[in-house]
Structure 1
Amino acid sequence: MAPGWHRFFDARQCLSLRRGRGLSRDLELSLDDTPTREALSVWDVRENLTRPVTGKIGDASQAVLTAGGDAVLSHHADDGSEMGHVMVTPLDGDGVRDLTPELPPYTLRGLDVARTGHRAVITAVWSAGFSLWLVADDGSEAPRRLFSSPNEAWNGLISADGALACLDTTDHNPGVRRFAATVIDAATGKSLAMLSDGPEAPVRGLRFSAVPGDPRLLLSTERTGFARPCVWNPLDGARLDVTAPGIEGDLVPLDWSDDACRVLAAHVDAGVHRLYEWDIRTGELAPLDHPPGAYFEPDIAVAHQYMWASHYGADGRVRLLRQRFDLPLTVLRLNRATGTAMPVRTPAAHPPGVPARSETVRSADGTAIQLWTCAPPGVGPAPLVLYLHGGPNMVTVDGYNPQAQAWLDLGIAYAALNYRGSVTFGRAFREEFQRSIGDRELEDVRAAVDHLVARGVADRDKVFVTGISYGGYLSLLAMGRMPGLFAGALAFVPMTDWEAAYEEMNPALQSAWRAFLGGSPAEAAGAYQRASPITYVEQVHGPVWIRHATNDTRCPPRQAYDYARALERAGGDVVLDWFHGGHETTSKDKALGDQQRMIDLVSATLRGERWSTSRVSPPPHTDPPPGSVQ
């Protein structure tokens, strides 16, 4: 019989919805979890019919519908390595075709389709640098390169009629991740205009107007140090910025209506989402009435800026995607006349859980940091698991969290920290981790633990730390640089040795970390060493579990093995479990297995038992991912 906490994972059905942009139909591409993998289906909103996508799909989380709604574009990479090609897959699965057969394998940093015709743009990265490619999903045009640069360039977009493209570029300020929006003529490849707010304030494109022939672009700007929506015409330079008197913090643009008259935006206040609608014609910024929860989730270094986000439907009404820590994704339709939000797609029956509370904590230097906290009902100071998100330029939102509910079901408290480096808290907060990788983040981690202990939520001697990717990295760094703070660390695909990992990272990541760490390992060896958990293995006092992938090109497997061996030689209690794949696990069965493993390990510590029962093993032999740097 399955443990009771399994019921929270069973409730998880729809992970995200991404609207198809074709003119003739109202379609949503739905990402759903199944026991074995993430699967796609197409929801015809007008007909209220759902059709599964049966063909072979690569990275389903980044897939998009073609304008005709009869096929899906997705990035196919060998064994999750993130090095591959974008393919077009008909919904019925009859024939998968490579859109860029002549290109070497690449990492994807943008994927967008025009509303009419068959054009799409792909932002690709391999050892030669960053490039933007115009492709045709029906094979009517050979791929054409519109842009290339050795400097970071992300998030390629295409206009509704396929005439213009846009790319977030850093050529104006190389080596610094503060983008400018560069617009390109899709017919000639000529750069037509660039919008920059100077070296301090990034500008990022979100979406071209949905009206064919309208060249305007919705962007996110940061003139004030915080995100604000902006509409810009690259052909005549006209620009319209939202005025938001009285609103402090980020006002994040999410979408704009098909008639290009209204923009949907989210104000983030201490992690809490409040939605607004900006009428471009009148300049009015009006709050929307909606229940509490998360209404979008940012992503980083992938094909799209959001994992999922509320948006406009083809009927012009706001389609709210809502989650909470205890509530799976629900779709609400906002009735502008009455101000009410009515459910149109709800999850199947799901067990009641514990909602999260947003708290503000002061770090060592007085910086305000945001913390989501959940405590088991009726329990005093309890064991606690502190979660640190990846990125670092990501964020934990008030989204459905079966892991948190599983811990709470067992009487263990849960908290998730948005440390410095997190997005949606302004530019200064997002960039502060760059001053000295790991330092500010660990100050925030200690402040969070002290706060949770002082408030009576956590038992000081029974606090565990966990995280994925950069969050796993911080978990291990905390074990070495703040010994005794945590009873153990549970690290998924962590970075453990920046210098050893550098040559095996995919090229897109090498560029970023040269900027963050002050150069290559040869140029900034001291910074790489100081930032690496392997430097501090002699100081690790608690047990460590590492769950790592055999084909990860973000946090390569060899450096994780080297860390585990070094900790083992130092007398540490370390367990290293391998899984076959890339940087993420993508099935319910794997998530259940990982949760059970963590529960077993934490329970062992609470019983006074060691985690390690055998020596760590090297990664199973795998060939290097195609196109990776050797």
Structure 2
Amino acid sequence: MPDWEKRFRAPRIGLPEWAEYAPDRSLFVSNATGTFELYTWDRATGTQRQATDRPHGTTDGTLSPDGEWVWWFSDTDGDEFGVWMRQPFAGGPDEPAVPGLAPSYPGGLAISRDGTVVVGCSTDEDGSTVHVARPGRPPVEIYRHRESAGVGDLSHDGSLIAIEHTEHGDAMHSAIRVVRPDGTTVAELDDTNGGTEELGLSVMGFAPVDGDSRLLVGHQRRGRWEPMIWDPLTGGETALEIDLPGDVGADWYPDGSALLVEHEYQARSELWRYELATPPAGSDAQGAPLTRVETPAGTVSGATARPDGTVEFLWSSAAQPPEVRSTAGTVVLDPPGMKAPGSVPVTDAWVDGPGGRIHALVQQPPGTGPFPTVFEIHGGPTWHDSDAFASSPAAWVDHGFAVVRVNYRGSTGYGRAWTDALKHRVGLIELEDIAAVREWAIASGLADPQRLVLAGGSWGGYLTLLGLGTQPDAWALGLAAVPVADYVTAYHDEMEALKAMDRTLLGGTPEEVPERFEASSPLTYVDAVRAPVYISAGVNDPRCPIQQVENYVQRLEKRGHPHEVYRYDAGHGSLVVEERIKQVRLELDFAHRHLTGAGAGAPESESSEEVESSERVE
């Protein structure tokens, strides 16, 4: 088995979540069976149990505070539309977690220790709703609005509910409303000034102490994400002395005396402890409130403080596979079986672009360039690539390609102005940054200008198709996974929350700003595409629905343009390991067939008959 396949097949484990009142009971995600599913773990006995088993996988789940129940979201074939189910921690039959609640897209979930549940929902018909269900009673709707909203958190004593909403019409920047369980408003925190300011807020969590109404809130008042404490009962706001560059997030330590700070800067991350408790009266303690929690260089993808004061975190780097580690110096969970081979480290490139300096991460195979080069473009767009382990880039490196990942304007982690810069000229701005990095890669001798591949999934797939049409001479090949291909049709067919995001990005609906949708749609430029195109799409995808992909493909077919399409029975990507390997294998094979002298050796490919039959989903 080649190393690139081992990286996908090797068992992985996510960061365990533990029950607040039963910290020995944990829940984690693993691909141990070949499909990502939820597993329970009793730390006291060491017992692990697979809790879910579905053909398309399950990753959205949580534990009740008492550790008695596993909650998980049940959709149909990856379409993200469904209901919450639950089962006993020790095992047993599944049952509807909130009887009487109709299927919807999930919009957040919070569970109180007395069994009260707050559920956020979203449907095309109703917009966003929030429901409260008490034990033995039917759910009661306490919130409804056409714009996107969701459950932020429930206070420790169950008396306060924080709702993130975008009633002002800007889906990129939320406000926060705190309400009682009956829906009456307690307080509102809105940095958008009714939608006239591009400042957002996020709920990080209520203090984990009875009678404590403090809410940890993320804000952007100084041009980046950082935490503060807001008390909705008094209106008081407490700024935190966290002088770190880049974006800063935080969560509570279990006793509420300190915060676990997650710091993201230039595609790496680290952890800090921030002390909130004041020194005892008469104490001479003058220590700084911020102290480093030691982690290796790389990326922390999640962290949690345990009741004993230790911190568990999921860590990786581009060169080293992920591990769940503890500040106690141990690996928390070490899955049995094959270990994922490492890969090559990333190097940083900083390139001057039309909107400022652009950060890119580069991996290259042994030898000297110029190399065939894949520009693998991240999704989101509000996301960023980091120095974290990723099997797909490593597979390209194994096959002799250099890989460049660009944190274009729209990416997170580089300040609010960088993230918000792509409005109205959606897609085109990101491609300007990618073009600047492409020119640097050629000029530096890294990339062969005749063997440049534009690739990506979701928003990255969208940028791939848009780039092939607007920069037709720049790219030798395009690989687009679950893309937006026809922006107008995608808007009308996608889930409601994404419609709200598109209205924010483009300034209205396709009927209100048709020229912007036309300028940003790959379908507009399909007749200019010169490079061969490979597209993969899930037939149940609610985010980038299949019909708009078919519209684009039909235009390619009408031109007789070289292309291949792989349609698979899932949603926005797949949680099945073998399916993901198949998709990467098809991409590698397509590249080697269409790029002269590309890479060190083609993968074992499927026959054309097999590819054709795989497009027909039963």
Describe the SS at the equivalent of 2:59.
helix
The residue that corresponds to 2:114 in the other structure is 117
1:310 CA drift (Å): 1.0
CA contact (8 A) 2:130 2:151 kept: no
For residues 572 and 269 of structure 2, the distance between their equivalents in structure 1, rounded to whole angstroms, comes to 29
Instruction: Give the partner amino acid of 1:525.
Output: P
CA contact (8 A) 2:15 2:324 kept: no
Specify whether residues 288 and 146 from structure 1 end up closer, same or farther in structure 2 by C-alpha distance, changes over 3 A only: same
Describe the SS at the equivalent of 2:77.
helix
Q: How does 1:33-182 map to 2 (within 5 A)?
A: 33-34=31-32, 36-54=34-52, 60-91=58-89, 93-114=91-112, 116-126=113-123, 127-136=125-134, 139-171=135-167, 173-182=168-177
- Tell whether 2:553 aligns with 1:557: no
Specify whether residues 57 and 68 from structure 1 end up closer, same or farther in structure 2 by C-alpha distance, changes over 3 A only: farther
Specify whether residues 275 and 504 from structure 1 end up closer, same or farther in structure 2 by C-alpha distance, changes over 3 A only: same
For residues 71 and 437 of structure 1, the distance between their equivalents in structure 2, rounded to whole angstroms, comes to 43
The residue that corresponds to 2:349 in the other structure is 359
- Residue from 178, 185, 189 that aligns with 2:183: 189
For residues 223 and 157 of structure 2, the distance between their equivalents in structure 1, rounded to whole angstroms, comes to 33
1:360 CA drift (Å): 2.2
Specify whether residues 363 and 346 from structure 1 end up closer, same or farther in structure 2 by C-alpha distance, changes over 3 A only: farther
For residues 28 and 74 of structure 1, the distance between their equivalents in structure 2, rounded to whole angstroms, comes to 14
Specify whether residues 286 and 471 from structure 1 end up closer, same or farther in structure 2 by C-alpha distance, changes over 3 A only: same
The residue that corresponds to 2:313 in the other structure is 320
1:373 CA drift (Å): 1.0
The residue that corresponds to 1:379 in the other structure is 368
Count of residues in Structure 1 that have an aligned counterpart in Structure 2: 594
1:461 CA drift (Å): 1.3
- Tell whether 2:417 aligns with 1:410: no
CA contact (8 A) 1:58 1:77 kept: no
1:392 CA drift (Å): 1.0
1:9 CA drift (Å): 1.9
The answer to which of 598-607 and 31-40 deviates more is: 31-40
For residues 364 and 457 of structure 1, the distance between their equivalents in structure 2, rounded to whole angstroms, comes to 22
For residues 416 and 166 of structure 1, the distance between their equivalents in structure 2, rounded to whole angstroms, comes to 36
For residues 366 and 61 of structure 2, the distance between their equivalents in structure 1, rounded to whole angstroms, comes to 40
CA contact (8 A) 2:350 2:358 kept: yes
Describe the SS at the equivalent of 2:553.
helix
- Residue from 246, 269, 272 that aligns with 1:249: 246
Q: How does 1:334-373 map to 2 (within 5 A)?
A: 334=327, 341-346=329-334, 349-365=339-355, 367-373=356-362
Specify whether residues 46 and 450 from structure 1 end up closer, same or farther in structure 2 by C-alpha distance, changes over 3 A only: farther
1:411 CA drift (Å): 1.5
For residues 2 and 324 of structure 2, the distance between their equivalents in structure 1, rounded to whole angstroms, comes to 30
- Residue from 597, 606, 616 that aligns with 2:595: 606
For residues 102 and 40 of structure 1, the distance between their equivalents in structure 2, rounded to whole angstroms, comes to 25
For residues 613 and 420 of structure 2, the distance between their equivalents in structure 1, rounded to whole angstroms, comes to 37
Instruction: Give the partner amino acid of 2:259.
Output: V
Instruction: Give the partner amino acid of 2:141.
Output: R
For residues 92 and 53 of structure 2, the distance between their equivalents in structure 1, rounded to whole angstroms, comes to 7
Instruction: Give the partner amino acid of 2:300.
Output: Y
CA contact (8 A) 2:424 2:516 kept: no
CA contact (8 A) 1:330 1:347 kept: no
Query: Which deviations, in whole Å up to 9, do the C-alpha atoms of 1:298-320 show, x marking residues without a partner?
Result: xxxxxxxxxxx111112222222
- Tell whether 2:220 aligns with 1:219: no
Q: How does 1:435-450 map to 2 (within 5 A)?
A: 435-450=424-439
1:56 CA drift (Å): 5.9
Specify whether residues 608 and 413 from structure 1 end up closer, same or farther in structure 2 by C-alpha distance, changes over 3 A only: closer
- Residue from 580, 586, 589 that aligns with 2:575: 586
1:168 CA drift (Å): 0.9
Query: Which deviations, in whole Å up to 9, do the C-alpha atoms of 1:431-461 show, x marking residues without a partner?
Result: 1111311121001111121222222222111
- Tell whether 2:277 aligns with 1:288: no
TM-score (norm 1): 0.89
Specify whether residues 557 and 109 from structure 1 end up closer, same or farther in structure 2 by C-alpha distance, changes over 3 A only: same
Describe the SS at the equivalent of 1:428.
helix
- The CA RMSD over aligned residues, in Å, is 2.5
The answer to which of 282-291 and 532-541 deviates more is: 282-291
Specify whether residues 545 and 57 from structure 1 end up closer, same or farther in structure 2 by C-alpha distance, changes over 3 A only: closer
Specify whether residues 374 and 60 from structure 1 end up closer, same or farther in structure 2 by C-alpha distance, changes over 3 A only: same
CA contact (8 A) 1:497 1:529 kept: no
CA contact (8 A) 1:268 1:425 kept: no
- Residue from 573, 585, 588 that aligns with 1:596: 585
Query: Which deviations, in whole Å up to 9, do the C-alpha atoms of 1:225-262 show, x marking residues without a partner?
Result: 111111221111222121234x3321222x21011111
Specify whether residues 606 and 472 from structure 1 end up closer, same or farther in structure 2 by C-alpha distance, changes over 3 A only: same
- Residue from 265, 271, 274 that aligns with 1:275: 271
Instruction: Give the partner amino acid of 1:244.
Output: I
Q: How does 1:422-433 map to 2 (within 5 A)?
A: 422-433=411-422
Describe the SS at the equivalent of 2:421.
helix
The answer to which of 223-232 and 414-423 deviates more is: 414-423
For residues 258 and 56 of structure 2, the distance between their equivalents in structure 1, rounded to whole angstroms, comes to 34
1:326 CA drift (Å): 2.7
1:556 CA drift (Å): 0.9
The residue that corresponds to 2:284 in the other structure is none
1:57 CA drift (Å): 9.8
CA contact (8 A) 1:110 1:122 kept: yes
For residues 323 and 597 of structure 2, the distance between their equivalents in structure 1, rounded to whole angstroms, comes to 42
1:11 CA drift (Å): 2.9
For residues 394 and 89 of structure 1, the distance between their equivalents in structure 2, rounded to whole angstroms, comes to 33
1:564 CA drift (Å): 1.0
Query: Which deviations, in whole Å up to 9, do the C-alpha atoms of 1:11-33 show, x marking residues without a partner?
Result: 3411x224233313233321111
Instruction: Give the partner amino acid of 1:230.
Output: M
Describe the SS at the equivalent of 1:417.
strand
Describe the SS at the equivalent of 1:181.
strand
- Residue from 326, 336, 343 that aligns with 1:333: 326
The residue that corresponds to 1:459 in the other structure is 448
1:613 CA drift (Å): 7.1
For residues 177 and 76 of structure 1, the distance between their equivalents in structure 2, rounded to whole angstroms, comes to 27
1:592 CA drift (Å): 1.0
1:185 CA drift (Å): 0.8
Describe the SS at the equivalent of 2:255.
coil
1:583 CA drift (Å): 1.0
Describe the SS at the equivalent of 1:314.
coil
CA contact (8 A) 1:89 1:97 kept: yes
1:47 CA drift (Å): 4.5
Query: Which deviations, in whole Å up to 9, do the C-alpha atoms of 1:41-66 show, x marking residues without a partner?
Result: 12334554433215669863221112
TM-score (norm 2): 0.90
Alignment gaps of 5+ in structure 2:
279-287, 599-604
1:618 CA drift (Å): 12
Instruction: Give the partner amino acid of 2:427.
Output: G
For residues 483 and 540 of structure 2, the distance between their equivalents in structure 1, rounded to whole angstroms, comes to 13
The residue that corresponds to 2:285 in the other structure is none
1:580 CA drift (Å): 0.6
CA contact (8 A) 2:72 2:84 kept: yes
The answer to which of 384-393 and 104-113 deviates more is: 104-113
CA contact (8 A) 2:37 2:53 kept: no
For residues 119 and 594 of structure 1, the distance between their equivalents in structure 2, rounded to whole angstroms, comes to 42
For residues 55 and 208 of structure 2, the distance between their equivalents in structure 1, rounded to whole angstroms, comes to 27
The residue that corresponds to 1:481 in the other structure is 470
1:358 CA drift (Å): 3.0
Instruction: Give the partner amino acid of 2:173.
Output: R
1:144 CA drift (Å): 1.8
For residues 393 and 91 of structure 2, the distance between their equivalents in structure 1, rounded to whole angstroms, comes to 37
For residues 151 and 537 of structure 1, the distance between their equivalents in structure 2, rounded to whole angstroms, comes to 32
For residues 499 and 343 of structure 2, the distance between their equivalents in structure 1, rounded to whole angstroms, comes to 41
Query: Which deviations, in whole Å up to 9, do the C-alpha atoms of 1:252-289 show, x marking residues without a partner?
Result: 22x21011111112222211213222111257122333
